[in-house]
A and B are shown apart, each in its own frame.
Chain A
Amino acid sequence: MTWRFMTGVLLLLTLAAFLLSLMAGKVWIWPMSWAADNANGWIFLELRLPRALLGLCIGAVLGLSGAVLQGYLRNPLADPTVLGVSASAALGGVLAIFLGINLVPFGLFGCAMIGAGASILLLLAIGRGGGPIGFILGGMVLSTLAGALTAFVISIAPNPFAASEIINWLMGALTDRLMEDVLTALPFMAIGALLLLTTGRALDALTLGENGAKSLGVDLFRLQWLIVLGVGLSVGASVAVSGVVGFVGLIVPHVIRSFYGEQPSRILVPSALGGAILTLTADSLVRLIPAPGEMRLGIAMAVLGAPFFLLLLLRYRKGAA
């Protein structure tokens, strides 16, 4: 099967998952009532559409970031959280809730983006002249620090309600996001994703190691910039608008590799589509599974993804043996 054919299939699946996300929920809304001038029409426009768009974009940037980072570090265990951007953006968001800035329009988004921006600047300073290893150690230190500070903020929350609000936000969800939220995050995600999509050839060259890549004329310093900015902007914006959604960036590139082979450049676009499919499907299931309140997306993703991933691993092991 060719790349084009498989990617065409993924595109159709993405469309299907997007439509499912528009329709599914406590109330099923069929396409004929999307433009209706009644409650269903309102639900579609104000709730479902922004939510589905968000799921599409967040899933895509997480899948893409995961594929790029795994390629860059030549390590299948890397995911978008390794750079510490998610943790820093989360810290920004948590501080915003703690200080009540989230009540100002775009206050939470702004604070989270400031957190992401700070981590981008720090990473670029750390990475100066160093190889991927120093760079990633810096990212992990940053991640740990931001995580500790986040825990500190939660521990000094003035009342249980504030603490629970922070924790709930951290777990990641696409619920009750407005079209404005989506439109604010979209440019950051789009620019970040475009930067990441230009890295394919350099990631391929890194298959030969750093010296091999350099001898092919690849500028590793430029690649590092592209990755920090690309992941920082897109993942930062996704955390800012929906909290930390794990799993997608780690798992999706693996699943994609089992169909597309392991060449880094070949899995970038498919990983973005795969991420969107997984996120949209998980977020639709969250609405359909009867639960008190609603299951958090991050939890649903793990519940849905982990068994599937294990199955895949078992199949892969058999194939390898």
Chain B
Amino acid sequence: MNLNVQNLGFAHGNAPTLEGVSATFEAGKFSVILGPNGAGKSTLLACLAGLRKPSSGTAKLGDEDITAMPAPTRAKRIGLLPQGAETHWAITSEALVALGRIPHARGAGASADDRRAIAAAMSATATDGFAQRPITQLSGGERARVLLARVLAGEPEWILADEPLANLDPGYQLDILDLLLQQARGGKGVVAVLHDLHHAVRFADHVVLLHQGFVFAQGAVDDVVTARNLATVYGIDALLSKDEEGATQLLIKGKMRS
């Protein structure tokens, strides 16, 4: 099962536009959408999540049109961690994670399935230690894990994350990336919008590089994140090398001189 967009165009309101975007995301891989501000990364993710309707082209889960799927069915299969880590009301971590079960809800109260999924999500993200603490009392890193646990609790086949590392310290960023990678290795489809190129080269299996609403390049991370592509798309002078363990390391030296 893959998530794919064909010749997708988007032009509505103030959102960045997309034009002729075709891309395929495979389950079991950690896919990353890269591109400078305004390139259309979040718009593409919103189309994949079914939150925005493409103006042209298609967004499909396997061969099902995502925009044509009934919202609860779509919500069960595609989970989204939205941008901004928005939370209102001082509810407990556990109550927040339980919101992830809304697409599965039947009648009032939590079913045995709900309780099992919530417990599993909280234990996977190591958030069970503060299940009863209000989310307003958590640190940024703890809150980010609770929000991710909320997505996992819905047991979606796909996990889409829009800038999941924003405002997190490096250690917490790595926690979230490790958790996402672990989900991908466990067979789920993971698509994340990231800003940090260092993380992208370390964690991504597959990269879609957007530039001004077009796909500039896509494929395996080493083929897409090249000094040349970064120079064109981001206007930066970057040095890429392999370290002694064979992992790619990225050093940004500065802006390109024109």
A interface residues (Cβ-Cβ under 8 A, vs B): 74, 201, 204-209, 211-212, 214-219, 261-264
Q: Which of chain B's residues have a CB closer than 8 A to the CB of A209?
A: 82, 84, 86-88
Complex partner residue of A217 from B74, B82, B90, B95, CB under 8 angstroms:
B74
Knowing A204-B99, A204-B102, the reply to whether A215 touches B89 (Cβ < 8 A) is no
Nearest-CB distance from A256 to chain B (Å)? 13
Interface size range on B against A:
20 to 34
* Set of chain A residues within 8 Å of B83, measured between Cβ atoms: 211
Interface 0/1 of B118-151, CB less than 8 Å to A: 0000000000000000000000000000010010
Task: Provide the bound-state CA to CA distance between A272 and B154, in Å.
Answer: 31
* Interface residues in chain B, defined as those with a beta carbon under 8 Å from any beta carbon in chain A: 46, 49-51, 71-76, 78-80, 82-84, 86-92, 95-96, 99-100, 102-103, 105, 147, 150, 154
A211 and B193 CA atoms in complex are apart in Å by: 15
Bound form: Cα–Cα A207–B100 in Å = 11
Residue contact A214 to B51, C-beta cutoff 8 Å: yes
Determine whether the beta carbon of A74 is less than 8 Å from that of B89. Answer: yes
B99 touching A207 by the CB < 8 A rule?
A: yes
Q: Which of B71, B83, B100 has the largest count of A CB atoms less than 10 A from its CB?
A: B71
Q: How many residue pairs bridge A and B at CB < 8 Å?
A: 75
Contacts of A218 in B (CB 8 A): 71, 102
Q: Judging by beta carbons under 8 Å apart, are B80 and A263 in contact?
A: no
Complex formed: what's the CA distance from A201 to B82 in Å? 19
- Residues from chain A with Cβ under 8 Å of B46 in the complex: 211
**Closest chain A CB from B185 CB (angstroms):** 23
Closest to A74 in B: B88
Please indicate the chain B residues that have their CB under 8 angstroms from the CB of A211 in the complex: 46, 51, 80, 82-83, 86
Q: Is the CB of B86 within 8 A of A212?
A: yes
Q: In whole Å, how far is B46's beta carbon from the nearest beta carbon of chain A? A: 8
Closest residue on chain A to residue B79 by CB atoms: A215
A201/B105 in contact, CB under 8 A: yes
The CA-CA distance from A214 to B160 in the complex, in Å, is: 14
Asked if B89 and A216 make an inter-chain contact with CB atoms under 8 angstroms apart, the answer reads no
Give complex CA distance A201, B88 in Å: 15
Closest-CB distance, B109 to chain A (whole angstroms)? 11
Give the distance in Å from the alpha carbon of A283 to the alpha carbon of B95 in the complex: 37
Q: Give the distance to chain B from A302, nearest Cβ to Cβ, in Å.
A: 26
* Cβ-defined contact, B89 with A219, below 8 A: no
The distance in angstroms between the C-alpha atoms of A214 and B105, with both chains bound, is: 15
Q: How far is the CA of A261 from the CA of B88 in the complex (A)?
A: 12
How many angstroms from the CA of A263 to the CA of B136 in the assembled complex? 13
Residues B103 and A217 in contact, CB atoms below 8 Å apart: yes
